[in-house]
């Protein structure tokens, strides 16, 4: 994981940390959806001073392998509210399902966080994944590791549409 930066226009006193709970796979086929969802944890950093945040929204995009430029088409659920057991919140998880990359190559997935306030929306930071290699010889599906299964099971009660039945299906993929 390559950490992103925090951006601010001065209208919010809150900074958020973003980390991958479930990273994208290291190798996938073109136009074949990732087996597991990509899940990003969002946590506030420090104490807020009159934090105006009303809702957090995360968006996934594709970058070249250096992270410097936008890359080819990414499809699937590329936006997600930040949610937790408490509903849409300012601390929780963003979940991206059925992501697929159209063109062979080497890329990074970037997840950017936007804060919606009474005064508008601003981007507050991002996180980049490790490099994803997209090629025709990649496995059709990615089998979850024991660590990923444990992480997914821990996420079931977090209100991000991951169920025990989903986990069982991913294990059979």
Three-class secondary structure assignment of 91-111: CEEEEECCCEECCCEEEEEEE
DSSP letter, residue 68 = S
Quote the tokens at residue 156.
């079931």
Range of the domain at 87: 2-172
Reading the chain (173 residues) residue by residue, the pLDDT tens digits are 444 443 333 344 578 899 999 999 999 999 999 999 999 999 988 766 565 557 889 999 999 999 889 887 899 999 999 999 888 777 899 999 999 999 999 999 999 999 877 777 778 889 999 999 999 999 999 999 999 999 999 999 999 999 999 999 999 98
Q: How many domains does the chain have?
A: 1
Task: Give CA–CA dist 34/25, Å, rounded.
Answer: 7
Backbone φ, ψ for residue 12 (5° rounding): -130, 135
For the entire predicted model, the pTM comes to 0.87
Which backbone phi and psi does 63 adopt, to 5 degrees? -125, 165
Q: CATH number of the domain at 41, please.
A: 2.60.40.3960
């Amino acid at each position: 994981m390559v950490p992103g930066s925090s951006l601010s226009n001065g209208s919010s006193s809150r900074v958020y940390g973003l980390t991958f709970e479930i990273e994208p796979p290291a190798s996938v086929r073109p136009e074949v959806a990732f087996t597991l969802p990509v899940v990003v944890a969002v946590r506030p950093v420090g104490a807020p001073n009159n934090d105006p945040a009303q809702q957090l929204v995360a968006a996934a995009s594709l970058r070249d392998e250096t992270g410097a430029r936008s890359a080819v088409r990414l499809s699937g659920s590329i936006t997600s509210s930040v949610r937790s057991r408490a509903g849409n919140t300012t601390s929780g998880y963003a979940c991206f399902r059925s992501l697929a990359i159209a063109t062979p190559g080497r890329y990074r997935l970037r997840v950017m966080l936007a804060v919606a306030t009474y005064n508008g929306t601003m981007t507050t930071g991002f996180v980049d994944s490790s490099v994803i290699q997209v090629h025709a010889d990649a496995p059709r599906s990615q089998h979850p590791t024991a660590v990923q299964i444990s992480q997914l099971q821990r996420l079931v009660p977090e209100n991000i549409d991951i169920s025990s039945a989903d986990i069982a299906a991913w294990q059979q993929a």
